Chains A and B, each alone.
Chain A
Amino acid sequence: MTDKLILAVPSKGRLMDQTIEQFASAGLTLRKTGNERGYRGEIAELDAIDVAFISAPEIAWYLQTGRAHMGVTGEDLIREQITDADQRVRLLKSLGFGQADVIVAVPDYWIDVRNMSDLDEISAAFRREHGRWFRVATKYINTTRRFFAEKGVIDYRIIESLGATEGAPAAGTADLIVDITSTGATLAANGLRILDDGVILKSEAKLVASKTADWSPAARQAETSIIRAFGL
């Protein structure tokens, strides 16, 4: 490992394109070095920076463990994947893309359940009737636990769901979901409704700095240059 600053950015798709655009509008040219399919890169205007193009879900882990000094990724992933996130990373700036809400949604058919305290209210009756706690399908396990605990809802079970979460209630594998949505159209198509107080997080892509990384003087200097370019 050199004492260069390591910047972790998404390696493909719209997230990568929009990251490159945002750096460009800050006057920084983010580009791959060598092979177009490679995973290393640089910022043309700045020395002492290694850019690592990696898959978006891994970026939070890089920042948490200090493998990267800075990174670009969704706040939802930061909050979900890093326990005690505020002690391990600093969220420096919203980058204006990747907007989506992490929400709690129940079957629209539960006309008696409008908010989290209604949900708590039905938990005991649900258990009596079905012999189990109600199940929440989600890939946001830690986020769900934290939010439910904050709202005083404790009698439920989480079912980990890695795809097509919105389909779980209709399929009978779960009773409600915690998922990410940008327009709500998929939820409605699956007969689901967001609870009145069920928006857990309004997420978007963030420029993030790791507190756990090994910050050499050169890395600090490079960070300052990036922060200045972004007008912070």
Chain B
Amino acid sequence: MAAETARKFEALEAQAQKIMQVFIQAGHEAVSPAIIQPAGVFLDVIGESLRARTYVFTDPDGAELCLRPDLTVPTCRLHIERNGDAPAEARYCYNGTAFRFQPVGAGSAHPREFRQSGIENIGASDREIADAQTVATIIEALRAAGLADFKLRIGDLGLFRALIKAIEMPDRWRQLLTHLFWRPDAFRAELHRLARPADENFKTMAAELRQGIDPTDVVRSERAVVDYLSANGIEAIGTRTVTEVAINLMWRLADAKSAPLSPATVALIERYLAIAGPAEAAGAGIKDMLRERGAAMSSAINAYHRRLQLMAKLGVNIGQVEFCAEFGRQLEYYTGFVFEIVSPVLGPASPLAGGGRYDDLMRAAGSNSDVPAVGAAIHTERLLSVVQGDGA
């Protein structure tokens, strides 16, 4: 990869100053988390798929380290290092390099070394206010850097969760569907599996085992597993216990005994996932769709509309905001509201900025309690190329 010119470097520095000024004025403290991160903690949070794009190495002491693939996790770790488990509200901002391996033929909008300018809002208990402020601050920073023409796309995993909750089904199915939300193909397959008659899902289990498993009795089910293993000469190895195997089989049997999802329910979920369009109309549409089915998910819908109103109050032109139910982020750590700023020049494959709510991330990064958090980052090289008008 070619080194950058001094001119480009200076332009990026000047742009970063404008952006950081907006962030600091909005009450964010500038921080500079470590570039080199312990791989273990980091990779546990981001998963193997991003690991494939992370530069991981071993130092002379044998410690497994990585070059940070983003700045959100390092900022969370910095917050925990400072505050331990003491509840603390904090707003941070940063401008720094992130590193990602890119496949052959990745365009210049996808460099392996790029600068992110971003903000994190950790510990704020009014989620909609924090979400709206995050969007508004990012947009203000983009404007300060000279960006005029862009589109804001939003999504909301909270709506999906509420929808699933409003539909009658075993709790474990809800967990499964939420777990698969970020993987559309697997999600669709699972949804249709849950809609098939039970026996079809269950016939792979050996008959003698099936008879011994009792969905309401762990001890009895465990005994059935042990008997099956010894009858078949199978040795128990590894960390997973007989109890875990038995419990999983109990769940399966309970699943098999539950009524499958009705075609109407499957259709409802698929209709929801197909929603895309102007944000206010989409919210109203979802409400109607649920009323038809007599399902209520008012608090999630209210939060959705409240967030839009707060964004409008902070100067975001919500007439132009587009909602997409399936708006997926590569990073699974987002748990609620998500958003992306797209320019007509670079298109949706190379967003200029993006972020969202990640209420589970602090715990994964080492906190012992749940901490609400929301953040976003600007891809500064892309922003500069759009503002300077040199395309990609």
Contact = CB atoms under 8 A, between A and B. Distances in A.
Interface of A: 83-84, 87-88, 107-112, 114, 117, 120-122, 124-126, 129-130, 132-133, 142, 145, 148-149, 152, 154-158, 169-170, 172, 175, 191
Contacts of B240: 107, 109-110, 126, 129, 175
B334 to A, nearest CB: 14
B179 A109 contact: no
A107 B176 contact: no
A109 B49 contact: no
Given A152-B186, A155-B47, A109 B176 contact: no
Contacts of A83: 103-104
A175 B252 CA distance: 22
Nearest to A85: B104
Top 9 closest pairs, chain A to chain B, by CB:
A152-B186, A84-B104, A169-B238, A170-B237, A112-B248, A152-B183, A145-B52, A191-B237, A109-B236
B332 interface: yes
A218 to B, nearest CB: 27
Interface of B: 43-44, 47-49, 51-52, 103-105, 175-176, 179-180, 183, 185-186, 189-190, 204, 206, 209, 225, 228-229, 234-241, 244-245, 247-249, 252, 332
Nearest to B64: A160
B183 A154 contact: yes
B313 to A, nearest CB: 38
Question: Considering residues B175, B183, B206, which has the most beta carbons from chain A within 10 angstroms of its beta carbon?
Answer: B183
Given A122-B248, A124-B179, A130-B239, 12 more contacts: A83-B103, A109-B229, A111-B206, A117-B189, A117-B190, A126-B240, A129-B241, A149-B49, A154-B332, A175-B240, A191-B234, A191-B237
Contacts of A175: 238-240
Nearest to A82: B104
Contacts of A152: 180, 183, 185-186
A111 B209 contact: yes
A172 B245 contact: no
A5 B175 CA distance: 57
A111 B228 contact: yes
Given A124-B179, A157-B43, A108 B52 contact: no
B242 to A, nearest CB: 9
Interface of A is mostly: mixed
Contacts of A158: 48, 51
A148 B48 CA distance: 9
A87 B185 contact: no
Contact of A157 (B44, B176, B239, B245): B44
A148 B204 CA distance: 22
A145 B103 contact: no
A108 B51 contact: no
17 contacts: A83-B103, A107-B236, A112-B252, A117-B190, A121-B176, A121-B248, A125-B248, A130-B239, A149-B49, A152-B180, A152-B183, A152-B185, A154-B48, A154-B49, A169-B237, A172-B238, A172-B239
B237 A109 contact: yes
A110 B183 CA distance: 25
Contacts of A156: 48
B234 A125 contact: no
Contacts of B209: 111
B200 to A, nearest CB: 14
A133 B52 CA distance: 16
A137 to B, nearest CB: 11
Contacts of A172: 238-239
Q: Which of B43, B48, B104, B252 has the most CB of A within 10 A?
A: B48
Nearest to B241: A129
B48 A111 contact: no
B360 to A, nearest CB: 12
A65 to B, nearest CB: 13
B44 A107 contact: no
B236 to A, nearest CB: 5
B330 to A, nearest CB: 11
A133 B44 contact: yes
Nearest to B40: A157
Contacts of B179: 124
B43 A109 contact: no
Given A83-B103, A111-B245, A142-B52, A132 B44 contact: yes
A87 B104 contact: yes
A112 B235 CA distance: 15
B176 to A, nearest CB: 7
A164 to B, nearest CB: 15
A142 B53 CA distance: 11
Contacts of A170: 237-238
Nearest to B187: A152
Contacts of A117: 186, 189-190
Nearest to B250: A112
Contacts of B239: 130, 172, 175
B244 A191 contact: no
Contacts of B47: 154-155
B235 A191 contact: yes
A87 B103 CA distance: 11
A110 B186 contact: no
B43 A87 contact: no
A187 to B, nearest CB: 12
Contacts of B247: 125
B237 A129 contact: no
Contacts of A129: 240-241, 244
Nearest to A108: B234
Nearest to A87: B104
B156 to A, nearest CB: 22
